[in-house]
Protein backbone atom coordinates (compact mmCIF):
# COMPACT_ATOMS: atom_id res chain seq x y z
CA UNK A 1 0.00 0.00 0.00
CA UNK A 2 1.06 3.53 -0.69
CA UNK A 3 2.35 5.46 2.29
CA UNK A 4 4.00 8.83 2.83
CA UNK A 5 5.84 9.74 6.04
CA UNK A 6 6.87 13.22 7.10
CA UNK A 7 8.70 12.92 10.40
CA UNK A 8 9.06 16.62 11.20
CA UNK A 9 5.82 18.02 12.64
CA UNK A 10 7.39 21.48 12.94
CA UNK A 11 10.57 23.28 11.94
CA UNK A 12 11.97 26.68 12.83
CA UNK A 13 14.56 28.28 10.56
CA UNK A 14 16.25 31.66 10.37
CA UNK A 15 15.50 33.82 7.37
CA UNK A 16 17.90 33.33 4.45
CA UNK A 17 19.00 29.88 5.61
CA UNK A 18 18.37 26.79 3.51
CA UNK A 19 15.90 24.27 4.86
CA UNK A 20 15.27 20.60 4.10
CA UNK A 21 11.87 19.04 4.69
CA UNK A 22 11.95 15.27 4.93
CA UNK A 23 9.67 12.86 3.09
CA UNK A 24 9.90 9.10 2.80
CA UNK A 25 7.51 6.94 0.83
CA UNK A 26 6.56 3.35 0.41
CA UNK A 27 5.27 1.79 -2.78
CA UNK A 28 5.68 -1.42 -4.71
CA UNK A 29 4.97 0.30 -8.03
CA UNK A 30 7.75 1.17 -10.44
CA UNK A 31 5.85 4.12 -11.87
CA UNK A 32 4.90 6.87 -9.47
CA UNK A 33 5.06 10.61 -9.03
CA UNK A 34 6.01 12.66 -5.99
CA UNK A 35 4.57 16.09 -5.33
CA UNK A 36 5.14 18.82 -2.79
CA UNK A 37 2.42 21.30 -1.86
CA UNK A 38 2.54 24.44 0.27
CA UNK A 39 -0.44 25.43 2.41
CA UNK A 40 -0.25 28.97 3.82
CA UNK A 41 -2.47 30.06 6.69
CA UNK A 42 -5.15 31.09 4.18
CA UNK A 43 -5.67 27.38 3.51
CA UNK A 44 -5.21 26.89 -0.23
CA UNK A 45 -2.98 24.13 -1.60
CA UNK A 46 -0.19 25.47 -3.79
CA UNK A 47 1.70 23.05 -6.03
CA UNK A 48 5.47 23.48 -5.70
CA UNK A 49 7.37 20.73 -7.46
CA UNK A 50 7.04 17.31 -9.06
CA UNK A 51 9.42 14.35 -9.42
CA UNK A 52 8.73 11.31 -11.55
CA UNK A 53 10.07 7.92 -10.54
CA UNK A 54 11.86 7.55 -13.86
CA UNK A 55 13.37 11.03 -13.83
CA UNK A 56 17.14 10.79 -13.56
CA UNK A 57 17.66 14.40 -12.58
CA UNK A 58 16.41 15.98 -9.38
CA UNK A 59 13.56 18.39 -10.03
CA UNK A 60 14.11 22.11 -9.48
CA UNK A 61 11.70 25.06 -9.55
CA UNK A 62 13.26 28.37 -8.62
CA UNK A 63 14.25 28.21 -4.94
CA UNK A 64 12.74 24.74 -4.59
CA UNK A 65 14.56 21.53 -5.36
CA UNK A 66 13.73 17.95 -4.67
CA UNK A 67 16.45 15.66 -3.35
CA UNK A 68 15.26 12.35 -4.82
CA UNK A 69 16.97 9.21 -3.53
CA UNK A 70 15.11 6.34 -5.12
CA UNK A 71 16.94 3.50 -3.39
CA UNK A 72 16.23 5.06 -0.01
CA UNK A 73 12.67 5.98 -1.03
CA UNK A 74 13.10 9.54 0.03
CA UNK A 75 12.01 12.78 -1.66
CA UNK A 76 13.12 15.67 0.49
CA UNK A 77 12.20 19.25 -0.39
CA UNK A 78 15.01 21.79 -0.20
CA UNK A 79 14.19 25.49 -0.01
CA UNK A 80 17.19 27.72 -0.59
CA UNK A 81 17.51 31.20 0.92
CA UNK A 82 14.31 30.98 2.97
CA UNK A 83 11.97 33.97 3.17
CA UNK A 84 9.36 35.00 5.73
CA UNK A 85 6.68 34.16 3.16
CA UNK A 86 7.82 30.53 3.19
CA UNK A 87 6.19 30.07 6.59
CA UNK A 88 3.44 27.53 5.93
CA UNK A 89 2.44 23.89 6.16
CA UNK A 90 4.17 21.68 3.59
CA UNK A 91 2.79 18.39 2.33
CA UNK A 92 4.53 15.61 0.47
CA UNK A 93 2.26 13.45 -1.69
CA UNK A 94 2.57 10.49 -4.03
CA UNK A 95 0.54 9.17 -6.93
CA UNK A 96 1.07 5.71 -8.38
CA UNK A 97 0.53 5.25 -12.09
CA UNK A 98 -3.18 4.70 -12.73
CA UNK A 99 -4.08 5.44 -9.12
CA UNK A 100 -7.22 7.41 -8.40
CA UNK A 101 -5.76 9.55 -5.66
CA UNK A 102 -2.85 11.36 -4.16
CA UNK A 103 -1.64 9.93 -0.87
CA UNK A 104 -0.48 12.65 1.50
CA UNK A 105 1.89 12.77 4.41
CA UNK A 106 0.93 14.37 7.72
CA UNK A 107 2.62 17.64 6.83
CA UNK A 108 5.43 19.77 8.28
CA UNK A 109 4.77 23.24 9.65
CA UNK A 110 7.67 25.49 8.69
CA UNK A 111 8.25 28.77 10.53
CA UNK A 112 10.79 31.26 9.22
CA UNK A 113 12.13 33.62 11.88
CA UNK A 114 13.42 37.11 10.98
Q: Which of 41, 44, 57, 85 binds another protein (CB under 8 A)?
A: 44
Distance of CA 49 to the CA centre of its chain: 8
Mode of pairing for the β-strands spanning 108-113 and 10-14 = parallel
For residue 68, state whether it binds another protein (rule: CB under 8 A): no
Nearest to another protein of 78, 102 (CB atom): 102
DSSP code of residue 58: P
The continuous run of DSSP H or E covering 10 comes out as strand 10-14
23 to 42, contacts with another protein by CB under 8 A?
31-33, 35, 37
For residue 101, state whether it binds another protein (rule: CB under 8 A): yes
User: Please, are residues 34 and 23 in contact by the beta-carbon 8 Å criterion?
Assistant: yes
Rule CB under 8 A: which residues touch another protein?
4, 31-33, 35, 37, 43-45, 47, 50, 52-53, 91, 93, 95-102, 104-107
Amino acid sequence: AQKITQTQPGMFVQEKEAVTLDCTYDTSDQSYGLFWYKQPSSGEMIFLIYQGSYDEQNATEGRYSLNFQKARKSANLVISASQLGDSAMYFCAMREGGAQKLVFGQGTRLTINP
